[in-house]
């Protein structure tokens, strides 16, 4: 008997469509842009004149207008008729809408231009071109939620909570996440330079990255021990549930008796996919997630039970696990008694919907809270694992700019990081205070010789890249969180 039934495609489509329509996480409604203007104007009764100034300049006059709109009309007319040069009236309206959204002080609500909206839609398409990292705006800064597995961002060493301060020298201060995405994304093969500040470090570092095609392949499975499989889900895109079905059935043929589900650094995605996947492990009829609207009304989403809820399971989470990842984690923890291992999750407990306008622009806004099966709201709090486990200290070391030369007698935070990396890889620079002395030079030479690099005694280019690559490999091999998850799983398989 297969672990997961091969679901009927039409049924899946109907269930996914229903889930999307009911939950509103990502709904795309067609709505003529000009209706937004009519909505603003016709909320008040007694319109006497409304003229879009395509030719002669005219003033909008409104009788019995709502008081809160009077200032808006006055500002629009004042700028439209009195500014020292001609204004773009479309930009004025767009700016007003953007201002309304920004006043919500919600990093997950956004007004997007047509170009920004295209980038937004790409997040659930089959692929896109860029660096491969989920970002969000927080307190006026652009933060990395999580890099995508195998992406240029991950290979460059970017981590959750890294702050992107500028792109190719242009500051991102005060930008929305979609505005930042527009700058960061670009054609495959083109180079971009990010300035990154990592919390806990003193100085920002410039990180050159070559953009690539980022395929939205979201499920990766492998056997990691006798009867034990590990499946990593990197995001929740439109085909993730189907990918997981295929992967689990393949792993069962290889002898899977227990599963570690890895949701670390998974920034989330589509709610219907989180519900479908949760249903594979939560018994039918039990609650997967709840949704609470502005009036306090709560709607429950139950397990569809399209899998094997008796399969021994352990779930891995960390501070990069957000949104749909947290929905899945909370669902299996509270409704199926599945233990969580790792670190506290990110803490995103809101649901968004998106509305397209006919000019290509888009309004994304928060419509509800989501609650765990037990009614907990994890927003800005995250989910605590049952077994807290950290990765080794060297796993959190900052990245080093490979274009910067670290040499004898130099002193910097980058040198300190390089010394710690060398030590983690079995070399002994003698110190980790950031001063590049003769001993450090000798260890760099040993490192270069051991890995068939040019032996010159300084770190730059290929030597720096190799140093970070080897450290990343060591982190993966010495995955303390995965080891603990396997240990816990074995007790559940007895």
| Model pLDDT, residue 298 | 97
Q: Which two tokens stand for residue 128?
A: 């896109």
| Model pLDDT, residue 47 | 29
Name all contacts of 99-107 with Cβ < 8 Å and 24+ positions apart.
Answer: 101/363, 101/365, 102/176, 104/365, 104/366, 106/350, 106/365, 106/366, 107/136, 107/137, 107/138, 107/177
| Model pLDDT, residue 55 | 31
Q: Say whether 277 sits in a helix, a strand or coil.
A: helix
Domains of the chain: 9-24+217-351+366-391 (3.90.226.10), 127-215 (2.30.42.10), 394-477 (1.10.101.10)
**CA gap 305, 281 in Å, rounded:** 7
209 CB burial (10 A radius; 0-12, 13-18, 19+): buried
| Model pLDDT, residue 44 | 31
Whether 334 is catalytic: yes
Beta-carbon contacts of 439 under 8 Å, excluding residues fewer than 6 positions away, are: 428, 429, 430, 431
Angle subtended at Cα 176 by Cα 171 and Cα 177, rounded to the nearest 5 degrees:
95
| Model pLDDT, residue 50 | 28
Beta-carbon contacts of 442 under 8 Å, excluding residues fewer than 6 positions away, are: 457
From 323, 329, 345, 463, active-site residue: 323
From 290, 348, 369, 441, active-site residue: 348
5 CB burial (10 A radius; 0-12, 13-18, 19+): middle
| Model pLDDT, residue 25 | 34
Angle subtended at Cα 360 by Cα 357 and Cα 365, rounded to the nearest 5 degrees:
55
Whether 116 is catalytic: no
| Model pLDDT, residue 123 | 54
If the chain, 494 residues long, is cut into consecutive pieces of 10 residues, what is the mean pLDDT of each piece?
37 37 35 34 30 35 64 92 93 91 92 76 63 83 84 88 92 85 89 88 86 84 96 91 96 97 93 95 95 96 83 96 97 97 97 88 93 97 98 90 91 95 97 97 97 96 93 93 98 92
From 334, 345, 364, 484, active-site residue: 334
**CA gap 245, 106 in Å, rounded:** 35
Whether 323 is catalytic: yes
């Amino acid at each position: 008997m297969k672990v997961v039934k091969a679901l009927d495609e039409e049924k899946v489509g109907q269930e996914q469509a229903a889930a999307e329509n009911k939950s509103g996480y990502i709904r795309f409604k067609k709505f003529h842009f000009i209706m937004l203007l009519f909505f603003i104007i016709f909320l008040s009764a007694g319109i006497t004149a409304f003229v879009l100034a395509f030719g002669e300049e005219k003033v909008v006059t409104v009788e019995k207008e709502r008081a809160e709109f009077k200032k808006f009309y006055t500002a629009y007319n004042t700028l439209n008729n009195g500014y020292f040069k001609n204004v773009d009236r479309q930009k004025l309206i767009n700016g007003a809408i953007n201002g309304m959204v920004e006043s919500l002080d919600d990093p997950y609500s956004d007004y997007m231009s047509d170009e920004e909206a295209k980038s937004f839609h790409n997040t659930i398409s089959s692929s896109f071109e860029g660096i491969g990292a989920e970002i969000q705006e927080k307190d006026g800064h652009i933060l990395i939620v999580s890099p995508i597995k195998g992406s240029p961002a991950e290979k460059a060493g970017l981590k959750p909570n890294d702050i992107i301060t500028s792109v190719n020298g242009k500051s991102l201060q005060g930008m929305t996440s979609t505005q930042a995405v527009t700058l960061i994304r670009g054609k495959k093969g083109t180079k971009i330079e990010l300035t990154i500040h990592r919390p806990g470090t003193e100085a920002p570092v410039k990180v050159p990255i070559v953009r690539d095609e980022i395929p939205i392949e979201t499920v990766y499975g492998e056997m990691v021990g006798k009867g034990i499989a590990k499946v990593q889900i990197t995001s929740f895109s439109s085909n993730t549930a189907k990918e997981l079905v295929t992967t689990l059935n393949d792993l069962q043929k290889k002898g899977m008796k227990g599963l570690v589900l890895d949701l670390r650094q998974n920034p989330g995605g589509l709610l219907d996919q989180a519900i479908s996947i949760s249903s594979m492990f939560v018994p039918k009829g039990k609650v997967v997630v709840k949704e609470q609207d502005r009036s306090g009304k709560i709607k429950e989403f139950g397990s569809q039970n399209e899998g094997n809820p008796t399969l021994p399971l352990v779930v891995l989470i960390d501070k990069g696990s957000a949104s749909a990842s947290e929905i899945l984690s909370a669902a299996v923890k509270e409704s199926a008694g599945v233990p969580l291992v790792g670190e506290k999750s990110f803490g995103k407990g809101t649901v968004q919907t998106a509305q397209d306008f006919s000019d290509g622009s888009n309004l994304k806004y928060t419509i509800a809270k989501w609650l765990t099966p037990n009614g907990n709201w994890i927003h800005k709090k995250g989910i605590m694992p049952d077994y807290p486990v950290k990765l080794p200290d060297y796993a959190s070391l900052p990245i080093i700019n490979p274009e910067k030369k670290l040499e004898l007698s130099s002193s910097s935070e980058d040198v300190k990081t390089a010394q710690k990396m060398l030590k983690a890889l079995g070399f002994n620079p003698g110190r980790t205070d950031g001063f590049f002395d003769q001993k450090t030079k000798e260890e760099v030479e040993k490192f270069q010789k051991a890995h068939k690099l040019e032996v010159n005694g300084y770190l730059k280019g290929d030597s720096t890249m190799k140093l970070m690559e080897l450290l990343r490999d060591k982190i993966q091999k010495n995955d303390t969180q995965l080891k603990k998850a396997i240990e816990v799983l074995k007790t559940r398989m007895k």
